[in-house]
Amino acid sequence: IVVNPETGEILAMAVVPSFNPNVFHRHQPFQWRNRAITDCYEPGSTIKAFLLAAALDKEAVTPQTRIFCEKGEYEVGNHIIHDHDAKGYGWLTVSEVIMHSSNIGAVKIGQKLGYKTYVEYLEKFGFGAKTGIELQGEREGFVRSPREAKEIDKATVSFGQGMTVTSLQLAMAMAAIANGGKLMRPVLVKSIRDGHGKIIQQTEPQVVRTVVSSEVARKVGEILETVVSEKGTGSMAAIHGYRVAGKTGT
């Protein structure tokens, strides 16, 4: 999915394997789906970008707040949460938690923020609701309500497990970080013209809501740039000559 963050315009949307709708009967039903809007999955560590945004916006942490990451093992209830690095991490700043994608660091950021507040921000970013794109079959995804969440649920959602999203939701939420904190409604059809080329219907960019301040969005963007650096988990996504920001996820 390629989206213009400022307008919400969907510039490209591709699904593989493809099919020819003129002879759809030659393809299997699972190939007919537009997986970008119909398939829900756990977002994994990509969700940490929005945890970070929420925590900074509520001033629960700063980019320099130091967090002890327990050397790779952290007990929550009767469960042990691990980091992907076998050696684990000691003290990391919040910025480094995101750069190295520490699950334990994310859980501790989530604990400082509070689960109820985190869910409120996830919903403001558009998770758990349809985006309203002009396509059939869009699904809402799932975000567990605070009253139904157990302690382990509150922990794992900090690194994107125990909730589901669509690819379009994820793209629009990241666009809100890129454009200064505004969640946009996705636009598929910019305008409709008659046979003479006269515009008979025009779709204007629509802001759904402001999620975080422009200052917070800028700080999150700068931290997400460190993810796509030599020290970060997304170094292979760096493009020479361009500023690239992003977040890895499994």
Please name the residues in contact with 209: beta carbons below 8 A apart, sequence gap of 6 or more.
124, 182, 183
| Residues forming beta bridges with residue 9, ordered by sequence position | 187
Q: Is 145 a catalytic residue?
A: no
Q: Quote the CA–CA distance of 135 and 105 in Å, as a whole number.
A: 38
SS3 208: strand
Cβ count near 80 (within 10 Å): 11
SS3 for 162-205 is: CCEECHHHHHHHHHHHHCCCEEECCECCCEEECCCCCEEEECCC
| Residues forming beta bridges with residue 193, ordered by sequence position | 199
Q: Are 220 and 52 in contact (CB under 8 A)?
A: yes
Q: Quote the CA–CA distance of 141 and 42 in Å, as a whole number.
A: 9
Q: Quote the CA–CA distance of 200 and 71 in Å, as a whole number.
A: 62
Identify the helix (H) or strand (E) that includes residue 93.
strand 91-93
Catalytic residue from among 18, 45, 167, 235: 45
Q: Which residues are catalytic?
A: 45
